[in-house]
């Protein structure tokens, strides 16, 4: 039935952080749409929605410095997450003059041919040749850091691995990675496309580590439901795109004024939500009741959670039953044994209780 209500536990995916059709986002879209839509491509006109959003993004990073004690103060807007990854790879190669890039096993960074090359074999196999020069490290395995060398342009890492099934990067490992990148003058790139914009309970997941990467990536929840992404870096790094060739990276629609206006409203809403609603408490409201012989663990931070069931066939039945019972959930690209729990950050306590009741009763009803 079309009018059946659903509770959304995935936010399509990690996009609707401020809820669906958030009134402030809708208003910002309407206001900007009434003023102007697309203008020019190469920055001929300074567009205030872009400038305001870039300023607000940079302000969210106040107090965090890169390994070279620089501040992230420039933003390049894209249309999507994968494009932010592509831009960052080009920037790292151009800045360092090095050919190799490292990513983590089981990481998902996007589906275009560069970003896909950073991902896992089963997604790449039928699309070769992809971008060469990629190698892998295992998250939280200190001995793998030796693979980072003076040939490595950049290491791409998600502070919390999303599609690997919500796997946290331990503080000790992140510190050692930071030091290794400093030693080898390799750029450290944080992909916060999924973990950013309040998803883990702080504006960025990087806040837990206390430092900034050399390049930070955002998308998904950034647009409040509109398409937009970004890669951000200190001017000292981003500046290399200005010459040889001039216009080192180009996009026609990246930073569309309507998307930027929506994104600024979403950013301000996320800041309000973090201030006024206890995301960690909401996380616990999921973690505490979800105790069941079939649930091996509920892991994650804030509202970026995974309920591990250990088996895809069983999990698929539970997910199908949840959807029948009005609860939208799914699994992860590289972890098909865990249920994704990533609702809009504005989810109410009563909705969390109801969601847990549905999951538990579905677990009981399936053999």
Q: Which two tokens stand for residue 263?
A: 């994104």
Instruction: Report in angstroms how near the CB of residue 338 gets to ligand PMP at its nearest.
Output: 15
Q: Taking a C-beta distance cutoff of 8 angstroms, is the pair 281, 61 a contact? A: no
Q: Which two tokens stand for residue 361?
A: 């009763």
263 binds ligand PMP, rule: CB under 6 A: no
Q: Which two tokens stand for residue 152?
A: 């490595």
Contact mark string toward ligand PMP, 239..258, x via CB under 6 A: --------------------
Q: Which position has the token pair 């980072």?
A: 148
Which distant-in-sequence residues (6+ apart) come within 8 Å of 355 by Cβ? 7, 9, 286, 327, 341, 343
> What is the footprint of ligand PMP within residues 285-344 (CB under 6 A)?
none
Nearer to ligand PMP, 228 or 285 (CB): 228
Instruction: Report in angstroms how near the CB of residue 242 gets to ligand PMP at its nearest.
Output: 26
Q: For residue 347, give the nearest of 271, 286, 268 by alpha carbon.
A: 286
Nearer to ligand PMP, 180 or 199 (CB): 199
> CB neighbours (10 Å) of residue 126?
6
Candidate ranges 104-112, 144-152, 250-258, 299-307; the one touching ligand PMP (CB under 6 A): 104-112
Nearer to ligand PMP, 83 or 308 (CB): 83
- How many helices (DSSP H) and strands (DSSP E) are in the chain? 12, 14
> What is the footprint of ligand PMP within residues 172-201 (CB under 6 A)?
191, 193-194
Q: Which residues pair with 300 in a beta bridge?
A: 305
Instruction: Report in angstroms how near the CB of residue 120 gets to ligand PMP at its nearest.
Output: 13
Q: How far is CA 152 from its chain centroid?
A: 23
Residue 115 CB burial class (10 angstroms; 0-12, 13-18, ≥19): buried
110 binds ligand PMP, rule: CB under 6 A: yes
Instruction: Report in angstroms how near the CB of residue 251 gets to ligand PMP at its nearest.
Output: 13
Instruction: Report in angstroms how near the CB of residue 200 gets to ligand PMP at its nearest.
Output: 13
Nearer to ligand PMP, 108 or 203 (CB): 108
CA distances from 354 to 12, 18, 122, 180, 305 (A): 20, 20, 36, 46, 17
> What is the footprint of ligand PMP within residues 74-103 (CB under 6 A)?
80-82, 85
109 binds ligand PMP, rule: CB under 6 A: yes
Directed axis angle between helix 312-324 and helix 349-365, to 10°?
A: 120
Instruction: Report in angstroms how near the CB of residue 163 gets to ligand PMP at its nearest.
Output: 6
C-alpha to C-alpha distance for 8 and 21, rounded to whole angstroms = 13
Nearer to ligand PMP, 208 or 292 (CB): 208
> What is the footprint of ligand PMP within residues 138-167 (CB under 6 A)?
158, 162-163
Q: How far is CA 153 from its chain centroid?
A: 21
Which distant-in-sequence residues (6+ apart) come within 8 Å of 1 by Cβ? none
Instruction: Report in angstroms how near the CB of residue 220 gets to ligand PMP at its nearest.
Output: 6
Q: Which residue is nearest to ligand PMP (CB)?
A: 81
Instruction: Report in angstroms how near the CB of residue 115 gets to ligand PMP at its nearest.
Output: 7
Nearer to ligand PMP, 198 or 351 (CB): 198
Instruction: Report in angstroms how near the CB of residue 23 gets to ligand PMP at its nearest.
Output: 24
Sites of contact with ligand PMP (CB under 6 A): 80-82, 85, 108-110, 158, 162-163, 191, 193-194, 219
């Amino acid at each position: 039935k079309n009018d059946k209500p659903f509770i959304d536990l995935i936010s399509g995916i990690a996009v609707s952080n401020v809820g669906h059709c958030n009134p402030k986002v809708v208003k910002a879209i309407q206001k900007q749409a009434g003023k102007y839509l697309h203008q020019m491509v190469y920055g001929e006109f300074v567009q205030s929605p872009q400038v305001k959003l870039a300023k607000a993004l940079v302000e969210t990073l106040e107090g965090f410095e890169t390994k070279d004690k620089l501040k992230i103060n420039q933003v390049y807007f894209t249309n999507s997450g994968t494009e932010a990854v592509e831009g960052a790879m080009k920037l790292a190669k151009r800045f360092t003059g090095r050919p190799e890039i490292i990513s983590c096993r089981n990481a998902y960074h996007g589906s275009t041919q560069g970003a896909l090359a950073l991902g896992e074999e089963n997604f790449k196999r039928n699309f070769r040749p992809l971008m060469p020069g990629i190698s892998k490290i295992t998250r939280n395995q200190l001995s793998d850091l030796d693979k980072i060398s003076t040939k490595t342009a950049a290491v791409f890492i998600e502070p919390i691995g999303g599609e690997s099934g919500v796997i946290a990067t331990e503080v000790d490992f992140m510190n050692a990675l930071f030091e290794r990148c400093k030693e080898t003058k390799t750029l450290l790139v944080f992909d916060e496309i999924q973990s950013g914009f309040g998803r883990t309970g702080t504006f960025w997941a990087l806040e837990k580590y206390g430092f900034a990467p050399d390049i930070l990536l955002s998308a998904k929840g950034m647009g409040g439901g509109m398409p937009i992404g970004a890669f951000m870096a200190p001017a000292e790094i981003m500046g290399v795109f200005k010459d040889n060739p001039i216009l080192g990276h180009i996009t026609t629609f990246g930073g569309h004024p309507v998307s930027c206006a929506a994104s600024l409203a979403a950013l301000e809403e996320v800041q309000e939500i973090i201030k006024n609603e206890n995301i960690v408490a909401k996380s616990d409201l999921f973690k505490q009741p979800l105790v069941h012989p079939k649930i091996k663990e509920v892991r994650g931070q804030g509202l970026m959670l995974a309920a591990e069931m250990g088996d895809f066939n069983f999990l698929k039945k539970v997910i199908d039953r949840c959807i029948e019972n009005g609860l939208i959930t799914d699994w992860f690209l590289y972890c098909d044994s865990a249920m994704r729990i990533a609702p809009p950050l504005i989810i109410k306590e009563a909705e969390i209780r109801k969601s847990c009741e549905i999951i538990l009763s579905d677990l009981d009803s399936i053999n």
